[in-house]
């Protein structure tokens, strides 16, 4: 009897707890978060402006109450001090300008130092202040800060000059010859002559000729025979451009997996006799041609990426004979990550090539001898990866780059900055501190201003030496006391083992501001599992949209499962021909591990939402893992990889299109739907064709499944804007909390 009574009391308490979630007050509080939390963080970021001598810089701090300060730092000594006497300058400026002025609220944001003088613009005037005695001079009217659109357009147009389109003219480097395409054939004109000469007679619309480039010595032109691709069309029906008028159709070219791509057959055009010589090479069936001529014009190289993303080559062509040899031949049994990691740099002066490869399971840089095709040495090595190359110093033979996973015990997604010599020696980690790092370099690259943070660590800014990464001084630590007073609580980084029982899976947990561990909280996962990157935030931010979702009475999580990027090649390879996996085996284990640590997480009520690839993932959660996920909102999802863009889908799903495309399609599997589903789509989406969603709708109707659908007139690729966000919140409150949205407690 006692046990029964206790159970009844607990059930009653549980009911009372549920009443406090999903209420109108929760909605109002969620709507206030962004506005309530903005502008409540200070000393967050530094934008250094270096003095001409390169040893000092200044920056401006934004401080509470609308105040600010200017700081000057001497990098050689590490001394940090006010850039000038703010109060004294305010006094003389107020007197000279006849305006009210405070030292903590100076009316300018930028300054300049030169020969003991401080220059700035204020009150529509330009001023110069002698810092020795604070004598202030009115130099004249300040220039307008409005952007000069005409100047910007002129610069853009200058950048375009000299390029050659399909019907343009290509002038030889010595200025003697001009080759152009007319009526699909090649024509040449000598500079001193107005009479063109026809060089080809077999060009057609189906197989036109095109000019690619001249050799530096003007003796050879590289041309190609083109066979245009045959991409399909993307059709958008605009229903509501103007009420009372009929719908209109929009049409644009859109290549899907398996569509015919443009191919190019390379030929050499010899100026002496205007002989055409076929290059002894395979057709270029993927991407355009990137050509690099040798300085003497005797040969050139080009990068050959095969369709299907499993082979990369650097091929050299002899300009006299058209014969070829392969310098680099990179192959993969799965795929080469062209979306994120493929990188190379030609070192013409030394006849070398820097080349990125995941051949040993991690993305690293290799140094090749361009004449023999032999790997001279590895530039980087280890069970970590090169995230991106920042700079190549050819003179010092050094590589500056970003890396992930270099610090044992840290989150492996944290970005650190490093330097290494071309021969693999002298590896230096320039950044320190448990967080993800963003740096800016001094003009001479002797120093960096490094700002690092985590989702649960406000930014810390430091000055460091690039010689050895040592600390010069701490510049700033962000102030967030006002943010915390406004109710902000940091997301929690959380790590659990993945499907293999060994690999760490990283994510974050976001709780509402009125969190109470005595309550039970449904879990909502915000998902994007696109293999081209990792997606869980790693740096500090006062507000993210998931905070507002949590505020309604949920715990929101975000996870990077296997099949996403910036880890080992094996971690990423899970997605190969397997995008439908989306890391769900890891995600479910992660959420269960979090619930084991935090019993207030209700894993019987798990929702999920996402957009684009995340929309595909969200619906896939119900179709393939309906035993775990109970409600999903899928926005503008690429639900069938066969009808989404070729460039992205062939990279991960492979080429040619095989049965695995259909097997993993949300359209094909729509009949498996369990749980509650809301589909959102913009009728003018040009990223993912709207029919990707409509074909899911058709399949669901044919399977007699219940679901909700929102078609947003005039909307493109999005989550449905403010209306879509409101409906998504209502959907989860209704189906996970079991309450009508915004109900009164």
What's the mean pLDDT in 636-652? 98
* pLDDT of 355: 98
Phi and psi dihedrals of 171, rounded to 5?
-90, 140
Q: Cα separation of 726 and 428, whole Å?
A: 49
User: For residue 477, how many C-alpha atoms fall within 13 Å in the half-sphere facing its CB?
Assistant: 5
What CA–CA distances, in Å, run from 509 to 78, 222, 405, 547? 38, 56, 22, 10
Q: Cα separation of 703 and 677, whole Å?
A: 14
Tell if the pTM clears 0.85, that is, is over it.
Answer: yes
Q: Is the peptide bond before 656 cis (omega within 30 degrees of 0)?
A: yes
User: For residue 247, how many C-alpha atoms fall within 13 Å in the half-sphere facing its CB?
Assistant: 11
What's the mean pLDDT in 27-32? 96
Residue 155 has pLDDT above 50, yes or no: no
Residue 11 has pLDDT above 70, yes or no: no
* pLDDT of 22: 87
The fraction of the chain above a pLDDT of 70, given in percent, is 94
User: For residue 366, how many C-alpha atoms fall within 13 Å in the half-sphere facing its CB?
Assistant: 19
Using an 8 Å Cβ cutoff, are 192 and 236 in contact?
A: no
* Residue among 599, 675, 593, 603 at smallest CA distance from 634: 675
In sequence order, the β-bridge partners of residue 211 are: 223
* pLDDT of 19: 41
* pLDDT of 17: 41
Q: Domain ranges for the chain, please list them.
A: 13-38+483-655+719-736, 49-141, 166-339
Residue that wins the pLDDT comparison between 339 and 20: 339
7 confidence band (pLDDT: 50, 70, 90): very low
The chain-wide mean pLDDT, for the chain, equals 93
Q: Cα separation of 340 and 449, whole Å?
A: 26
Dihedral angle over CA of 151, 154, 159, 164, nearest 10: 170
150 confidence band (pLDDT: 50, 70, 90): very low
Q: Retrieve residue 408's tokens.
A: 């044992």
The lowest-confidence range among 18-27, 340-349, 533-542, 623-632 is 18-27
What's the mean pLDDT in 407-430? 98
Query: If you classify domain 166-339 with CATH, what class do you get?
Result: mainly beta
* pLDDT of 463: 98
160 confidence band (pLDDT: 50, 70, 90): very low
Residue 745 has pLDDT above 60, yes or no: no
742 confidence band (pLDDT: 50, 70, 90): confident
169 confidence band (pLDDT: 50, 70, 90): confident
* pLDDT of 191: 85
267 confidence band (pLDDT: 50, 70, 90): very high
What's the mean pLDDT in 41-49? 97
What's the mean pLDDT in 540-546? 97
Residue 148 has pLDDT above 80, yes or no: no
The lowest-confidence range among 123-137, 278-292, 619-633 is 278-292
- Residue 262 is given by DSSP the state P
Q: Retrieve residue 39's tokens.
A: 């502008």
Residue 607 has pLDDT above 70, yes or no: yes
Residue with token string 């000393």:
43
User: Considering just the CA atoms, what is the radius of gyration of the chain in Å?
Assistant: 31
Read off the pLDDT of residues 477-486 as tens digits, 9 standing for 90 and up. Answer: 999 999 999 9
Q: Return the CATH fold of 13-38+483-655+719-736.
A: Rossmann fold (3.40.50)
């Amino acid at each position: 009897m006692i046990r029964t009574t206790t159970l009844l009391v607990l059930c009653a308490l549980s009911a009372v707890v549920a009443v406090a979630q999903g209420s109108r007050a929760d909605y109002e509080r969620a709507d206030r978060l962004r506005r309530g939390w903005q502008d409540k963080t200070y000393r967050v970021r530094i934008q250094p402006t270096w003095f001409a001598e390169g040893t000092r810089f200044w920056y401006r701090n934004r401080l509470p109450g609308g105040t600010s300060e200017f700081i000057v730092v001497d990098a050689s000594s590490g001394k940090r001090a006010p850039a000038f006497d703010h109060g004294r300058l305010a006094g003389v400026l107020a007197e000279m300008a006849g305006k009210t002025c405070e030292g903590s609220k100076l009316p300018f944001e930028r300054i300049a130092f030169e020969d003991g003088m401080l220059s700035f613009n204020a009150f529509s005037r330009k001023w110069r202040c002698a810092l020795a005695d604070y004598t202030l001079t009115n130099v004249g009217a300040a220039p307008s800060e409005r952007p000069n659109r005409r100047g910007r357009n002129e610069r853009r147009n200058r950048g375009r000059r000299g390029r050659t389109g399909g019907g343009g003219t290509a002038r030889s480097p010595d200025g003697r010859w001009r080759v152009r395409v007319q009526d699909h054939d090649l024509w040449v004109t000598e500079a001193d002559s107005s009479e063109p000469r026809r060089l080809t007679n077999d060009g057609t619309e189906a197989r036109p000729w095109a000019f690619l480039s001249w050799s530096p010595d003007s003796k050879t032109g590289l041309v190609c025979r083109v066979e245009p691709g045959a991409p399909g069309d993307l059709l958008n029906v605009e229903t509501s451009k103007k009420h009372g008028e009929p719908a209109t159709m929009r049409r644009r070219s859109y290549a899907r997996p398996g569509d015919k791509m443009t191919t190019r057959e390379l030929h050499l055009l010899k100026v002496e006799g205007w002989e055409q010589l076929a290059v002894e090479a395979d057709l270029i069936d993927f991407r355009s041609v990137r050509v690099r001529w040798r300085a003497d014009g005797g040969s050139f190289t080009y990068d050959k990426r095969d369709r299907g993303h499993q082979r990369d080559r650097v091929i050299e062509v002899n300009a006299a004979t058209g014969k070829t040899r392969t310098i680099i031949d990179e192959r993969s049994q799965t795929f080469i990550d062209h979306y994120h990691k493929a990188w190379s740099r030609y070192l013409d002066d030394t006849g070398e090539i820097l080349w990125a490869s995941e051949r040993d399971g991690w993305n690293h840089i290799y140094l090749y001898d361009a004449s023999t095709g032999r790997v001279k040495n590895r530039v980087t090595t280890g069970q970590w990866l090169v995230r991106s190359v920042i700079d190549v110093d050819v003179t010092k033979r050094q590589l500056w780059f970003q890396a992930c996973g270099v610090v044992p015990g840290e989150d492996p997604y944290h970005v650190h900055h490093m330097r290494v010599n071309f021969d693999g020696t002298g590896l230096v980690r320039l950044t320190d501190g448990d967080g993800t790092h963003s740096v800016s370099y001094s003009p001479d690259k002797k120093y960096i201003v490094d700002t690092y943070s985590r989702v649960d660590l406000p930014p810390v800014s430091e000055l460091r030496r690039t010689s050895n990464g040592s600390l010069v001084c701490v510049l700033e630590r962000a102030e967030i006391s006002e943010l915390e007073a406004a109710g902000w609580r940091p997301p929690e980084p959380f790590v659990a083992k993945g499907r293999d029982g060994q690999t760490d899976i990283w994510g974050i947990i976001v709780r509402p501001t009125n969190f109470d561990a005595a309550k039970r909280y449904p879990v909502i996962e915000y998902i994007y599992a696109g293999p081209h990157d990792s997606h869980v935030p790693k740096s500090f931010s006062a507000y993210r949209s998931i905070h507002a979702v949590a505020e309604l009475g949920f715990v929101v999580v975000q996870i990077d499962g296997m099949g996403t990027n910036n880890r080992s090649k094996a971690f990423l390879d899970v997605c190969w021909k397997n995008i439908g996996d989306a890391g769900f085996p890891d995600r479910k284990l992660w959420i269960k591990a979090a619930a084991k640590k935090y019993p207030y997480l209700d894993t019987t009520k798990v929702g999920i939402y996402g957009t684009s690839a995340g929309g595909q993932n969200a619906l896939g959660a119900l179709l393939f893992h309906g035993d775990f996920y109970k409600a999903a909102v899928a926005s503008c999802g690429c639900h069938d990889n066969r009808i989404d863009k070729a460039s992205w889908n062939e990279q991960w799903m492979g080429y040619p299109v095989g049965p695995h495309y259909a097997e993993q399609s949300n359209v094909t599997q729509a009949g498996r739907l369990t749980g509650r589903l809301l589909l959102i789509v913009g009728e003018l989406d040009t990223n993912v064709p709207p029919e990707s969603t409509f074909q899911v709708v058709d399949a669901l109707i044919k399977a007699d499944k219940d679901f909700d659908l929102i078609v947003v007139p005039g909307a493109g690729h999005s989550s449905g804007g403010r209306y879509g966000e409101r409906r998504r919140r209502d959907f989860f409150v209704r189906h996970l909390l079991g309450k009508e949205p915004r109900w009164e407690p």
